[in-house]
Amino acid sequence: MPRVAEIIAKKKAGRSLSAREIEIIINGYLDGSVTEGQMAAWLMAVCWQGLNKEETLSLTEAMLASGETVDLTSIDGPKVDKHSTGGVGDKLSLVVVPLVASAGVKVPKMSGRGLGHTGGTLDKLSSIPGFSTELTPARFIEVMNTVGAAIISQSAKLVPADKKIYALRDQTATVASIPLIASSIMSKKLAAGADAIVLDVKVGSGAFIKDITEARRLAELMVWLGKQMSRPTKAVLTNMEQPLGRAIGNALEVDEALKVLKGAGPGDLRRLSIAIGREMLTLSGLVDAVEAAEQVLESLLENGQAYNKFKEIVKAQNGDITVLDDWRVEPVNREAYKAKADGYLKFINTELLGYAALELGAGRRSVAGDIDYDAGLVMAKKAGEVVSKGDILIDLYIGHGADLKKATAYIDKAIEINLEPLPEEPLIYEVIG
């Protein structure tokens, strides 16, 4: 059996690793025979030299095999999962899951909590009183069969290698590697057991991936991995140069999602929800044509069935549905951020708006940190809109322990007022798969 040091040296020299060599690294790190220093060295070598497709597939398979997988065969009907690579104001799952479920597709959604400048779906749902993100396996299957969708936290028994390795990647500045990102995402999605997967790959200043070329590489690699594992996969490259919708913050984003589910809400959030939903619906096989899928989803928003499905999900997961019809956000205080000049609003660093929301109390600085569900901010203006000096650009919802000075400083750096009109940017760049 090859020595660990030899495997590290081989990758450091840019040579390809066998599936067995990758298994030795992954399994050894889990059982302790590969030290943290050795794994850090291997991760850095991967960042320098990369992995080819076959190596990335072997890594994905090794991580997938490190834990349990979810057996969804007892759930009737087509099962399609949805994943987002994360961005500022991304509350898409709150709309897409009930919307697609109301069309007859089963949507088993495992989500995470927020850390840093991006919010987590589970934190948003936790702003609903009583909502439980923890379901026993038996209850999860029951909810999936009766309601058609559930949004829960990921079991620690699924892909434990990824959790341990990701913590080290975060410490060693080895997160930004396309093969490592692809294998991390796809091992978790494959373990979750759905028949097909739709990936929302966000690109821009408010996303983890800023460059569209890199985003396309990631999307194509993940779609290829899905195909190799006999799991039909599509990826949608979406624009994150400005917040999705207008709200950033947990209860604020629930409010916005509820508006879309009731047939109103921000146009970009509604359009992207339908775009992701149509890919899920066509992959399920229930609808063949994209145009037909869009028509089905539009009608489900307009006739209230998508909103009713959301209420069913909340009720099934012990949430209080009585608050949904008259949803209220009640921060400690509110202030307005106003325009300092005339012109056209431009977002130059959307990520900083996520950090502004964090400073207002909406985010956590550590895994165990507290958040204020009612804190955050709401865009009164979107990119390219005409503004006059003194106009309200952003409503600030100030929470407990907020640092308003820091939040305002982030906003100062995140936006600017242009003298010339801005070109309109697409919401969706392309669909891959």
Say whether 188 is catalytic.
yes
> Would you tell me how many other CB atoms lie within 10 Å of the CB of residue 394?
25
State pLDDT tens for residues 285-329.
999 888 999 999 999 999 999 999 999 999 999 999 999 999 999
* Measured distance CA(218)–CA(206) in Å, rounded: 17
Q: What was the pLDDT predicted at 116? A: 55
CA 402 to chain centre: 25
Q: Indicate which residue of 11, 83, 91, 202 is catalytic.
A: 83
Q: What was the pLDDT predicted at 417? A: 97
Q: Indicate which residue of 11, 91, 109, 188 is catalytic.
A: 188
Say whether 270 is catalytic.
no
Q: Indicate which residue of 91, 169, 270, 278 is catalytic.
A: 169
State pLDDT tens for residues 194-214.
999 999 999 999 998 999 999
Q: What was the pLDDT predicted at 315? A: 98
Q: What was the pLDDT predicted at 310? A: 98
* Measured distance CA(67)–CA(27) in Å, rounded: 11
Residue 136's Cβ-count burial label (10 Å; 0-12, 13-18, 19+) is: exposed
Q: What was the pLDDT predicted at 115? A: 55
User: CA 52 → CA 7, 58, 119, 145, 220, distances in Å?
Assistant: 16, 10, 32, 40, 13
Domains of the chain (ranges; CATH) run 4-50 (1.20.970.10), 80-323 (3.40.1030.10), 333-418 (3.90.1170.30)
Q: What was the pLDDT predicted at 117? A: 57
Say whether 334 is catalytic.
no
Q: What is the mean pLDDT of each run of 10 residues along the chain (433 residues)?
A: 90 96 96 95 96 98 94 94 92 97 96 68 94 92 96 88 90 90 95 96 94 97 97 97 96 97 96 97 92 96 97 98 96 97 96 95 76 95 96 97 96 96 94 94
Share of the chain above pLDDT 70, in %: 97
Q: What was the pLDDT predicted at 416? A: 96
Q: Indicate which residue of 102, 184, 273, 284 is catalytic.
A: 184
User: CA 285 → CA 36, 80, 103, 234, 306, distances in Å?
Assistant: 45, 10, 12, 14, 20
Q: What was the pLDDT predicted at 413? A: 98
Q: Indicate which residue of 162, 200, 255, 372 is catalytic.
A: 162
State pLDDT tens for residues 136-167.
989 999 999 999 999 998 877 889 999 899 88
CA 411 to chain centre: 23
Residues listed for the chain? 433
